[in-house]
A and B are shown apart, each in its own frame.
Chain A
Amino acid sequence: MSLLSIDNLSVNVESSGEVRPVLNGLKLQINPGEVHAIMGPNGSGKSTLAHVVARKPGYSIQSGVVLFKDQLLNEMEPEEVAQSGLFLGFQYPVEIPGVSNMEFLKASSDSLNKARSKEPESTTDFMKRVRSIASSLDLDQDFLKRGVNEGFSGGEKKRNEILQMLVLKPDLAVLDETDSGLDIDALKTVSNGVNAFRESSNGVLLITHYQRLLDYVVPDFVHVLSEGRIIQSGDKSLALELESKGYAWLQ
């Protein structure tokens, strides 16, 4: 069974009455144990892809199918997608003022367990686990008491996404430019987090603008997205080539 299987996906976005196609016949398959990277210039549709698989409202699927663990995602509610094990690390995480990080993580973990007919993790065990993951990401204990993304620096927001991923243990993590805006130390911390997450049973889709992340998290496949479709796929060397020659080389 593949984790994610996308075939012939075309998607429109509508904003202020104007409809425009963003994805045009996209095809992608991710199997357990694989790390895929999607690269592409700004505006090529990377975030759109991430949002569509997470069923964010506002995107209309024109054609094609998206299967997650053999389930058709096209019509699912966003929380159902999450409950079946797909995690999206946001490019621009939003704030939820007054709701502490720890509280939010617990609500999230409890909801996921409930949807899977599992008992909630005891608060003590849960907090212990979260604290230890937080310290592995260089996040101090105070960080867990602060409101979700409230007044976080860019780097803290991104590390918080990784924290959530590690705590919630999804089957597939889609990380949308989690590397953008990080200094080299933070980039290493985030990469260590992703590498710690990798298992033979799960998968990662790294969406990135730069190849430098791929020095630390080595992908099995690299795809180039342009104008809403994948125009080239290869292994890590494709990323290096792209970096030296630029996207124009492919067009």
Chain B
Amino acid sequence: MANQSVQDIIDSEKVYEAGFITDVESETLPPGLDENVVRHISSQKNEPEWLTTWRLRAFKSWQSMSPPAWGHIDHPEIDFQSISYYSAPKSHLDGPKSLDEVDPELLATYEKLGIPLHEQEALAGVVQNSDNNNVAVDVVFDSVSITTTFKEKLAEAGVIFCPISEAVQKHPELVKKYLGKVIPQRDNFFAALNSAVFTDGSFVYIPKGVRCPMELSTYFRINERNTGQFERTLIIADEGSHVSYLEGCTAPMRDENQLHAAVVELVALGDAEIKYSTVQNWYPGDAEGRGGIYNFVTKRGLCAGRKAKISWTQIETGSAITWKYPSVILRGDESVGEFYSVALTNNKQQADTGTKMIHIGRDTKSTIIAKGISAGKSDSTYRGLVRVSPTASDARNFTQCDSLLIGNECGAHTFPYIESKNSSCVVEHEASTSKVSEDQLFLCQQRGIDAEKAVSIIVNGFCKDVFRELPMEFAVEAGKLLEVSLEGAVG
């Protein structure tokens, strides 16, 4: 019939394929947060005294803090007493299991999500042309890690990859040395909350000079109603080591909002490199803006030694609200920080995301490539800070922020802050805003490509500079995810 305009395409319904609920019996704490809840979590995990004390200190700090108000986001006040802070499937109360002991209902969940838990399988839909297509996965379901794959193979290389709760037991000296050192408890309201009530998450240690033999990844899933997820990830790359890590997340479709407040700390020592990629696909809420995850996340990496390198790549397509700024502290001389981001918002989603690059060492270098795509009635904000300290002679930064608008009802905003206290630095900033035009759409259609596919092709082209940075195993997945996420924008 009539011609489809870009707007018509956006108006159609969104399909969120990960939106199902797993029927497992869980033990869930009643809603509410006080000291006893913090103690309860700590004792569930059999934590040593120092960690319980650490958590309680964070809880005290949190009580005196208030949520940040500067984000370009709008939501009803979160009632922190209405959230449950701990939920674990009953079958996994006593911690992670080996694969053949995992609850079959849970295994089926991950199968449905395309997450490979069998060690001989590669990631679903992955290109098979790399000579090493194995990916080790740590699987976190609500508040607990249920299994970690390829542990033996990694152990041979000396790599530690396990749930953080297990690291607390087995490698307390490492956890104690680094926990909260990159992101202090009082860093912000949500970091303080996480420090008090964090449940599970992954721990990675790569020994000196080791190149991690495979991609590591953690898959986070929220299942229970009214629970928050507060995971904590700590990755340490010792001198001259190298690791590539990927994080994925999904949640069921529910009418109420759920809170996710994670903390991720990375430490790269001299000559070490950490590549951290995120494919964030939490439930975004429906077309009217009902439900969806509130995603308030603090992620920061420390380039502690000379020539250390930390690279964040994020594909943010989910969540009702995204508030996150993966950052790098460039303390080592000649260290390198990178941030590559695609943030796609549709319907009534809101994203306020970006990065901070804190230059302290000499000859430090940072690159920021941020791509924001807004469709429907959504709002997408880039917020970035490049700070050059007096000590950071000859520091360099290049920032590029591009926004792509689909339709006429969405918004894109850019807040790039630059604070330079060293005159020898070079800071470059480029920004652009463009629209998916009717003419581009028509060109595609005239070449036989339907409008839905056309929007996806145009958006994928726009994101190319970021997709290039993803581990090859996941680049294809990311492209597909974008297509699915745009299905709301794309029919």
Q: A residues engaging B (CB < 8 A)?
A: 54-58, 75, 77-79, 81-83, 87-88, 90, 93-99, 104, 107-108, 111-112, 115, 147-148, 164, 168
Contact = CB atoms under 8 A, between A and B. Distances in A.
B289 to A, nearest CB: 29
A75 to B, nearest CB: 6
A51 B461 CA distance: 26
A111 B449 contact: yes
B442 A57 contact: yes
Please provide the 10 A-B residue pairs with the shortest distance between their CB atoms, ordered closest to farther: A98-B461, A99-B461, A108-B447, A57-B3, A78-B445, A98-B464, A112-B448, A111-B448, A82-B448, A79-B445
A77 B4 contact: yes
Contacts of B453: 107, 111
Nearest to B4: A77
B458 A79 contact: no
Interface string B1-27: 111110000000000000000000000
Contacts of B1: 75, 77
Interface residues of B, number: 28
Interface string B458-475: 101111110000000000
A75 B453 CA distance: 21
6 contacts: A79-B448, A79-B450, A94-B440, A96-B458, A112-B447, A115-B448
Contact of A98 (B447, B448, B462): B462
B458 A99 contact: yes
A82 B443 contact: no
Nearest to A93: B443
B351 to A, nearest CB: 21
Contacts of B2: 75
Contacts of B440: 94-96
Contacts of A104: 447, 457
Interface of A is mostly: mixed
B446 interface: yes
A94 B441 CA distance: 10
B446 A107 contact: no
A236 B345 CA distance: 56
B406 to A, nearest CB: 14
B448 A96 contact: no
Interface in B413-451: 437-440, 442-451
Contacts of B442: 54, 56-57, 78
Nearest to B1: A75
A98 B439 contact: no
A82 B448 CA distance: 5
A58 B439 CA distance: 11
A211 B374 CA distance: 46
A94 B458 contact: no
Contacts of A54: 442, 446
B461 A107 contact: no
A79 B441 CA distance: 10
A57 B460 CA distance: 24
A87 to B, nearest CB: 8
A96 B5 CA distance: 17
Given A57-B5, A98-B465, A82 B445 contact: yes
Contacts of B445: 77-79, 82
Nearest to B463: A98
Given A88-B446, A98-B462, 5 more contacts: A54-B446, A57-B3, A82-B447, A97-B462, A111-B449
